[in-house]
């Protein structure tokens, strides 16, 4: 089993798939999420989101804020703006 992860910007889905781990910059500090994590809703601050997929290379993106939701091994990250490799996606 794995985490089902969606990272979305206002205008597009940035990353979707299965992951072993997600880290994100919550307002209260860096948050790490593994399978079986308790349900949570957190406000994000500016920083790096790191997704370690079940297979393949880690995916890293910079977010400017937003929120993160975890429930039943489903992680949803809704970012105000996302930058991947110098390419911003924002409203």
Number of independent structural domains in the chain: 1
Quick check: 90 pLDDT over 60?
no
Burial level of 87, CB count in 10 A (0-12/13-18/19+)?
exposed
C-alpha span between 64 and 67 (Å, rounded): 10
Domain coverage including residue 83: 3-90
Least confident of 13-22, 30-39, 77-86: 77-86
Output the six-digit token pair for 35: 């399978």
pLDDT class for 85, splitting at 50, 70, 90? Answer: confident
The CATH number covering residue 22 comes to 2.60.15.10
- Show Cβ contacts of residue 43 under 8 Å, excluding neighbours closer than 6 positions: 26, 27, 65, 66, 67
Quick check: 76 pLDDT over 80?
yes
pTM (two decimals): 0.91
Give the distance, in angstroms, between the CA of residue 9 and the centroid of all CA atoms in the same chain: 11
């Amino acid at each position: 089993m794995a985490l089902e992860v969606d990272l979305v910007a206002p205008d597009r889905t940035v990353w979707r798939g299965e992951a072993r781990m997600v880290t994100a910059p919550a307002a209260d500090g860096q948050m790490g999420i593994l399978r079986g994590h308790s349900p949570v809703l957190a406000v994000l601050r500016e920083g790096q989101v790191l997704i370690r997929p079940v297979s393949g290379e880690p995916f890293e993106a910079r977010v400017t804020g937003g929120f993160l939701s975890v429930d039943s091994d489903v992680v949803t990250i809704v970012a105000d703006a996302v930058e991947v490799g110098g390419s911003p996606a924002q409203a």
